[in-house]
Amino acid sequence: MKILYAIQGTGNGHLCRAMDIIPCLQQFGTVDVLMSGIQADICMPFDIKYRLHGLSFIFGKSGGVDLWKTFMSSTVRKLLQEVNEVPVQDYDLVINDFEPITAWACQTKDLPCIGLSHQIGAMHPNSPKPEETDMMGKFIMKNYAPVSQAYGFHFKQYHKSIFTPVIREPIRKLEPTNLGHYTVYLPSYDDAHLLKHLTKFSDVQWEVFSKHNNRPLHVKNVKIQPIDNDAFVKSMASAEGVLCGAGFETPAEALYLGKKVLAIPMKNQYEQHLNAAALEDIGIPIIKSLKKKYEYDIEVWLNSTNKVKVDYPNNTMQIVETIISKNT
């Protein structure tokens, strides 16, 4: 069986998940990997047969998505060209992790496309939703990567078609410790914003991993270093807590490691607000930004010893077996 596994390359979550899913898929046939999008920081240990421009959300520098840069980075002509040219018809099975080119290629050629992504779990009717409805965001999420069969991941199993997070093997092998520092991953904030706010908590040691800097920087109680997967994992595993965006993989891995988490959803990113609603549902504190009015909430979190316990079993092979058996 020939399988095409298509990954959205924006951010790191989809790629982290792929590291565990691809070996499982290879048990059932030949797997070709397609990746579209930009701004990923992780090198894949697998050959990527197709690299496409796709449609990426560009992170801003003050807590949100830069909608203008996102729009300008993707031309309609290039998108249509990639949709028309990707050879989805050459595969027995197309599995899609929120990747728009293969999804729309299957849609236009009337071919099945199996969705397996966190976004599907977050959009499921049973999953928690934010109080404020973002109609445009909801429309984009629903139509970004349409699929014929949908399976999702979420922080909690809200439905039988939703699975708990795939925790990559290197994380599962770790033995967490607590060296007292706090690990920070907020890619939509630049270093100046982070320094301005984090230095106010002078008795806390912050280890920041930044998309906006290519060399290490140490200012007062804040250590900033470029994104490095191994260094980030080491920092998170030995942290007191993790301050991060309301993405999916980072909060899930932090929770798996038994760390307390504080999440800040990106502005203009509906998916992160869906994630925030689910994190809040399981007991994780959420703040809207690093602004002065949320300093008290940050202080409360820093002084808290409350940690949310989760059960994320290693069942990736069972998930893949279920999907293969139902769609072949």
pLDDT tens for 190-222 read 999 999 999 999 999 999 999 888 899 999 999
| Paired residues of 30 in beta bridges | 2
Alpha helices in the chain (DSSP H): 13-25, 67-72, 76-85, 100-108, 118-123, 135-143, 169-172, 191-198, 229-237, 249-256, 270-281, 295-303, 316-327
pLDDT score at 267: 86
| Residue 69 C-alpha from the chain's centroid | 20
Residue 227 CA to residue 119 CA, distance in Å, equals 24
Residue 59 CA to residue 95 CA, distance in Å, equals 26
CB 237 within 8 A of CB 257: yes
Measured torsion, CA atoms of residues 7, 10, 11, 17, in degrees rounded to the nearest 10: -10
> What single letter denotes the amino acid at residue 274?
L
Pairing status of strand 182-185 against strand 241-245: parallel
Q: What is the pLDDT of residues 99-144, one digit of tens each?
A: 999 999 999 999 999 999 999 999 999 999 998 878 888 888 899 8
Crossing angle of helices 316-327 and 13-25, rounded to 10°: 70
- Measured between alpha carbons, how far is residue 29 from residues 106, 221, 222, 325 in Å? 20, 51, 48, 13
Residue 57 CA to residue 301 CA, distance in Å, equals 30
CB 327 within 8 A of CB 116: no
Residues of the chain with pLDDT under 70: 11, 38-43, 56-76
pLDDT score at 315: 95
Domains for the chain: give ranges and CATH numbers.
2-168+314-327 (3.40.50), 171-303 (3.40.50.2000)
Contacts of 85 (CB under 8 A, 6+ apart): none
